[in-house]
Amino acid sequence: MKKIKNNTLNLLVGIILIFSLFGSCKKENESEKIRTTEAILFWAGPYEADGCGYFIEINGIEYKPNNESQIDSSFQVNEEIPVKLEYQYPSRKIEYWCGLLPQAQYSNEIIIISIKKI
């Protein structure tokens, strides 16, 4: 009887260890995944002068960077700039205030890791 209890206990401990090992493996969250693509960068003027800062277009979809301060001021030109972009996409909307509209606006959020002119 003792041998059966010990075998059962060993089996339970083994199963618990296996599940804890598999459970501790961290699966990469889609929002943390770093992606690379070509995109178009737009400068819509400084916020202080009723502008809207930067926008990025990827495959026809417009995004608002949540870390615009990472973008060098040399990109502040009134033309479309083709760029190579490393980014994360948290797949949520970002709220921003700009322009003459006295209300919040929303856009798809993007986090810039690196950005370079093509």
- Break the chain into its structural domains and give their ranges: 30-117
Cα gap 94→56, rounded to integer Å: 13
Residue 35: name the closest of 81, 83, 89 by CA: 89
Residues of the chain with pLDDT under 50: 21
pLDDT of res. 64 = 96
Q: What is the pLDDT of residue 91?
A: 86
Domain 30-117 carries which CATH code? 2.40.50.500
Give the residue ranges of DSSP H helices in 25-118.
Answer: none
Instruction: Give pTM, 2 decimals.
Output: 0.71
> CA end-to-end span of the chain, whole Å?
74
Whole-number pLDDT of residue 13: 56
H or E stretch including 83? Answer: strand 81-88
